């Protein structure tokens, strides 16, 4: 383990940006009182986003899109379980089966990553842990998504009113802002606090430092200092 912290202090998106800016490879594991999630990174790019209790499971998405039937999915999973005690990613199992083309699997994994990142946008409690496993996960059909692109798309969906399918216990607006140093005005809070989610806090181009305060104009020297920062 090389990095650990509380999500209430550093949002999931902020930590993800940090790891991407340093081109890290490993697993970002998230956990709260209800569930666990894992984001797989390779050289700062996202290979997959796993939220086991979400409604965006890979097999279900392939069936829903008509790429395979429910009976075929069930048979493939059962055959793999009986053949080998080792657990492997469903995408790899399906690729070995030949039932689904690799490009369709990669495309569906990318769609799943976008959907599951939206699910993570309402995680305001719990812990994060970044680890580098001895045997890294290998994704033969990885979409290798740029983190900035992933977070900008998530911010766009939130701004358009899309919400995670699974509700989390949310904090009142004032409590959610307690640990944040953005010093938003009342008007900004009315705009960015939506159903217990702070759109400003999870925006991919913002960190919670005084020079990034939404109500404080940036000076020219501030801009010069920020030119090379990876989250801009």
pLDDT on residue 205: 36
Residue 203 lies in a domain: no
The pLDDT tens digits of the residues spanning 1-52 come to 578 999 888 889 989 999 999 999 999 999 988 889 999 999 999 998 988 7
Residue 101 lies in a domain: yes
What's the domain count of the chain? 1
Residues 6+ apart with CB under 8 A from 50: 37, 38, 39, 40, 116
Residue 51 lies in a domain: yes
Residue 86 lies in a domain: yes
Secondary structure, 3-state, 9-78: CCCHHHHHHHHHHCCCCEEEEEECCCCEEEEEEECCEEEEEECCCCCCCHHHHHHHCCCCCHHHHHHHHH
Rounded CA gap, 24 and 41, in Å? 7
pLDDT on residue 207: 34
Sheet holding 127-131, edge to edge: 3-6, 127-131, 26-31, 36-42, 45-50, 145-146
**pLDDT at 146 exceeding the cut of 90:** yes
Residue 211 lies in a domain: no
The pLDDT tens digits of the residues spanning 92-119 come to 788 778 888 888 888 888 999 999 999 9
Query: Domain residues for 110?
Result: 3-165
**Token code pair at residue 25:** 């490879």
pLDDT on residue 181: 58
**pLDDT at 211 exceeding the cut of 70:** no
Residue 178 lies in a domain: no
Residue 172 lies in a domain: no
What is the helix (H) or strand (E) element at residue 146, kind and residue range?
A: strand 145-146
pTM > 0.85: yes or no: no
Residue 30 lies in a domain: yes
The pLDDT tens digits of the residues spanning 112-142 come to 999 999 999 888 888 999 999 888 777 777 8
């Amino acid at each position: 383990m090389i990095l650990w912290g509380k999500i209430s202090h550093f949002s999931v998106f902020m930590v993800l940006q940090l790891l991407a800016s340093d081109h890290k490879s490993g697993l970002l594991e998230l956990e709260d009182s209800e569930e666990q999630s894992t984001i797989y990174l390779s050289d700062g790019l996202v290979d997959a986003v796993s939220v086991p209790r979400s409604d965006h499971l890979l097999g279900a998405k392939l069936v829903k899109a008509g790429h395979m039937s429910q009976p075929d999915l069930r048979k493939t999973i059962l055959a793999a379980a009986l053949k080998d005690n080792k657990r492997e990613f469903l995408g790899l199992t399906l690729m070995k089966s030949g039932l689904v083309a690799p490009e369709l699997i990669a495309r569906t994994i990318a769609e799943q990553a976008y959907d599951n990142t939206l699910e993570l946008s309402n995680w305001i409690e719990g812990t994060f842990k970044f680890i580098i496993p001895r045997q890294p996960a290998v994704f033969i059909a990885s979409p290798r998504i740029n983190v900035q692109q992933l977070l900008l798309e998530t911010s766009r969906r939130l701004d358009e009113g899309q919400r995670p399918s699974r509700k989390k216990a949310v904090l009142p607006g004032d409590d959610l802002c307690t640990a944040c140093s953005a010093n938003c005005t009342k008007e900004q809070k009315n705009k960015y606090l939506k159903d217990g989610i702070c759109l400003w806090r999870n925006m991919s181009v913002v960190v919670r430092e005084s020079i990034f305060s939404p109500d404080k104009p940036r000076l020219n020297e501030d801009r010069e200092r920020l030119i090379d920062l990876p989250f801009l």
